[in-house]
Amino acid sequence: MDLSEFTIRPDPANPKLTERVSGLDQDGRPVEASVTVERPLTLYLNGQEIVTMMTIADYPDYLAVGYLLNQNMLKRDDRITGIDYDEEIDTVVVRTERATNYEQKLKKKTLTSGCAQGTAFGDVMETFESVRLNPDARLKTSWIYALSKKINLTPSLYLEAGAIHGCVLCQDDRPLVYMEDVGRHNAVDKVAGYMHLHGVPAHDKIFYTTGRLTSEMVIKTVQMGIPILISRSGFTAWGVELGRQANLTMVGRAKGKRFLALAGTDRLDFDADPAAVGDEGGRHQRKGSRDED
C-alpha cells in the first residue's frame, strides 16, 4: 500500500518500542513474542512537576505539549520557549514565557476511562462549552471505508506486538498523523501536540481512534477543534451526550462495511454502497471492534 500520505506513522521496527520475550503457547511449546515496552515519563511545566505518565515515549515533545493543552495548563497563545527531554531520567520539561503555577489545579484529580488510567486535573470541562466546531465540515461514507482500510493495513506496533491504541489525524480519505501508545489518552495528546507545534488547522480534519468513544475522547477531540470523530469501537452514553451537545459528528463500530453514527449525523454524505465494501481480514481485527463492543 502507499504510505506516502502519512506525515508520521508507526515504526514497528524501532528496537526501543518492543522487546522479544520467551514463554509457552497453549500447547506448552516454547515461543518468542514481541511485547510493547512502556516506561515512565515525568512531565514538568517550567519548574513544577505535573504528572508521571506510562508511555512508549516515542514522541515525548508532542505528548508533553498535547497533554498540557488538553489539561488547559497550556494556552493556545502561550509562547513555548523550550522543550527538553532527558531520556536517561525519563523527564520532559516544557518551558513557557508566561509564568505558571497550577498547585491548586493539581489537587483536583479525575481518573479517566482510558486504558492505563489517564489522569485529568482540575475542571475537564473548562473550555468545552465555548468551542464552536465547523458546521460545514462533511464526512463522506466512502472516506470512512477508505480510512479504515488504509489505517488497519498500515504496519504498526499493534500488528507487531499488540497491547496498544492508535489515533490518527485525517483529512478527507487521507490519514496524515498516526500515533500509538499504551493508553489512548496519550495517543490523542501526541496528535494534539503535533497539531499545535506545527500550526495544523483543525476545522477540516477527522480524528480516527481505535479506542472507545468515551467522555474523555469526546472532550479532547472537541478541545482540539476537530468536528468529526471515528472509532472502530463503541460508545458510552455520556460520550454521546457530550458529542451531541458540542455538535461533534461521532461514528463508532466502524468495521468492514458497517458503522453506527450517533451524533452530528447531518454532516454525513452517503456516497458509498456498503454492499460493495469487502469484509476485514482476521489479522486486522482489533479487540475493540468486536460485535459486542
- CATH number of the domain enclosing 150: 3.40.140.10
Banded model confidence at residue 286, pLDDT cuts 50, 70, 90: low
Element housing 216 (H / E): helix 215-224
- Residue 56 placed within a domain: no
Domain count, the chain: 1
Banded model confidence at residue 287, pLDDT cuts 50, 70, 90: low
Mean pLDDT, the chain, integer: 89
Q: In angstroms, what CA-CA distances link 5 with 32, 189, 268, 272? A: 33, 21, 23, 22
143 versus 4: which is more confidently predicted? 143
What does the block give as the cell for 172? 478527507
- Residue 279 placed within a domain: yes
- Residue 106 placed within a domain: no
- Residue 176 placed within a domain: yes
* pLDDT value of residue 44: 97
- Residue 120 placed within a domain: no
Enclosing domain of residue 202: 139-289
CA pair distance 63, 40, nearest whole angstrom: 13
- Residue 33 placed within a domain: no
pLDDT at 288 over 70: no
In the chain, pLDDT over 90 holds for what percent of residues? 77
What does the block give as the cell for 273? 454502497
pLDDT in tens, 139-196: 999 999 999 999 999 999 998 888 899 999 999 999 999 999 998 899 999 999 999 9
- Residue 113 placed within a domain: no
Active site residues: 115
**pTM summary value:** 0.89
Q: In what order do the strands lie in the sheet with 228-231?
A: 174-181, 165-171, 206-209, 228-231, 249-255, 258-263
What does the block give as the cell for 81? 520557549
pLDDT at 118 over 80: no
- Residue 144 placed within a domain: yes
Task: Please state the φ and ψ torsions of residue 26, each to the nearest 5 degrees.
Answer: -65, -20
Please give the single-letter amino acid code of residue 132.
R
pLDDT in tens, 38-48: 999 999 999 99
Banded model confidence at residue 293, pLDDT cuts 50, 70, 90: very low
